[in-house]
């Protein structure tokens, strides 16, 4: 998969392939969030298509649409796009193209009204949708109308048929988009957002972008899983018998400096000896990392197939905890093959990732370094990439020869600081 962006917001030009592990760095307001939101949206387009298809089947409006499919789907995509980014006046030469693979792509460009985006949808997708409508409209409508709240045997048969059709449609659309994983976006400022989510419910949803709104909804759902301790969650699930998550759990506790427990009063972090701190009074680092850790932990024990979008996983964390966070994400990747698109300002995040990439490269050469870095923490060097965006343009900072990220690219400020310090020393020691 690959995204191409031209003249969208602060981004002048960007071409970025999407691999399993992706790091994106750059100064504030350079366009990092714009890029990962665009990737997130174009992948969510798959689910928008599914909703469009199923809604038409349920309403009995899927037959004989012809060219209406393109117009209606465009409208559905546009309605979902605006809440992602808010109202925007697009440059007339703006263009975003997402290549899903298998000769299928989708393109965003401005309409005659610069505030109104338009999507160019591949003919192959329109053909797939038309085929689904033709094949399933009559059957779906007849059985869907039979499904009632209080079901008899015939209703149950209809419900089973509907479920089978929906599953087949989902598989068909997944195949066309060339991916079948779920999407989870964990935004920056997640600590205050999630801690105050109850109070935020009074805010107009139009004032919150879609990824943040989805995160708030997910964080409330997460709490319901943690009315028990992590150990109780693992031990009570027969599917997890014989599986070891001890390293994952230990690393999570080390980063969080305790155990999270939802007590129906906002949650608390237990720090041992019957001591605890209420979540809303915990440190900013604990509040920021908590939702990353809990989400990844549940995905790991469920074995779910997920692409994570994580903004600034280093937020408010000490450098050693940042290293633990990278290793935690690497461990989840090994357990589940989940994918990651990560934005960061931290050289510690990139340097920690480099260690795990280096360990993988050495292991692939036939040497054993598991006594230094366990195999489950290695990052696959052939499936990792890293880019930097500066002054509206994106460049690769991943050396394909040695399979390393140029961590110095993010830490150029240190060189400037050291140079200035040397100049001050020269002045100090002048005779």
Does residue 337 surpass a pLDDT of 70? yes
**Average pLDDT of the residues in 225-249:** 84
- Predicted confidence at residue 413, as pLDDT, reads 64
pLDDT at 224: 83
Q: Which residues contact 402 (CB under 8 A, 6 or more apart)?
A: 361
pLDDT, tens digit (0-9, with 9 covering 90-100), for 374-411: 999 999 999 999 999 989 999 999 999 999 998 777 67
What residues contact 375, with CB distance under 8 A and at least 6 apart?
334, 363
Q: What's the average model confidence in pLDDT over 146-175?
A: 73
pLDDT band at 356 (very low <50, low <70, confident <90, very high): very high
CA-angle at 83, arms to 341 and 92, nearest 5°: 90
pLDDT of residue 90: 81
pLDDT tens readout for residues 112-125: 877 788 999 989 99
If pLDDT is split at 50, 70 and 90, which confidence band does 226 have? confident
Average per-residue pLDDT in the chain?
87
Give pLDDT, residue 150: 47
Residue 351 has pLDDT above 50, yes or no: yes
pLDDT score for 149: 47
Percent with pLDDT over 70 in the chain: 92
Sign for the pseudo-dihedral over CA of 158, 162, 167, 171:
positive
Tens of pLDDT, residue by residue over 55-113, are 998 888 888 887 899 999 999 999 999 888 887 778 889 999 999 998 899 999 988 87
Which has more confidence, 425 or 126?
Answer: 126
Q: HEC profile for 175-225?
A: HHHCCCCEEEEECCCHHHHHHCHHHHCCCCHHHCCHHHHHHHHHHHHHHHH
Return the bridge partners of 17, or none: 2
């Amino acid at each position: 998969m690959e995204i191409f962006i031209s003249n969208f917001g602060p981004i002048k030009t960007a071409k970025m392939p999407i691999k399993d592990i992706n790091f994106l760095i750059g100064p504030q307001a350079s366009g990092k969030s714009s890029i990962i939101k665009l990737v997130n949206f174009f992948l969510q387009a798959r689910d928008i298509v599914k909703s469009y298809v199923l809604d038409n089947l349920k309403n009995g409006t899927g037959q004989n649409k012809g060219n209406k499919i393109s117009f209606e789907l465009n409208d559905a995509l546009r309605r979902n796009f605006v809440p992602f980014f808010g109202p925007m006046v697009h440059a007339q030469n703006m263009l975003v193209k997402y290549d899903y693979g298998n000769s299928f792509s989708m393109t965003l460009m401005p309409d005659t009204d610069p505030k109104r985006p338009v999507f160019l949808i591949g003919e192959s997708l329109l053909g797939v949708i038309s085929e689904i409508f033709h094949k399933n409209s009559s059957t779906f409508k007849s059985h869907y109308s039979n499904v009632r709240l209080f079901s008899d045997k015939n209703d149950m048969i209809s419900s089973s048929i509907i479920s089978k059709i929906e599953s087949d449609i989902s598989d068909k659309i997944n195949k066309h988009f060339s991916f079948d994983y779920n999407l989870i976006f964990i935004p920056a400022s997640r600590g205050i957002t999630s801690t105050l989510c109850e109070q935020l419910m009074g805010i107009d949803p139009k004032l919150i972008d879609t990824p943040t709104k989805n995160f708030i909804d997910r964080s409330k759902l997460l709490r319901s899983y943690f009315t028990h301790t992590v150990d109780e969650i693992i031990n009570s699930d027969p599917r997890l018998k014989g599986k070891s998550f001890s390293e994952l759990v230990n690393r999570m506790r080390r980063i969080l400096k305790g155990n999270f427990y939802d007590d129906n009063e906002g949650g608390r972090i237990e720090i041992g000896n019957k001591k605890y701190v209420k979540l809303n009074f915990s440190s900013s680092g604990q509040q920021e990392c908590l939702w990353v850790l809990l989400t990844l932990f549940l995905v790991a024990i469920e074995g779910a197939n997920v692409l994570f979008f994580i903004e600034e996983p280093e937020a408010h964390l000490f450098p050693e905890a940042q290293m633990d966070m990278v290793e935690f994400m690497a461990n989840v990747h090994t357990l589940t093959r989940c994918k990651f698109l990560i934005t960061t300002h931290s050289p510690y995040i990139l340097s920690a990732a480099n260690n795990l990439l280096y360990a993988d490269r050495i292991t692939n050469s036939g040497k054993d370094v598991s006594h230094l870095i366990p195999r489950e923490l290695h990052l696959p060097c052939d499936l990792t990439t890293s880019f930097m965006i500066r002054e509206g343009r994106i460049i690769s900072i991943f050396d394909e020869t040695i399979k390393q990220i140029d961590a110095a690219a993010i830490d150029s400020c240190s060189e400037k600081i050291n140079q200035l310090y040397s100049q001050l020393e020269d002045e100090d020691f002048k005779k």
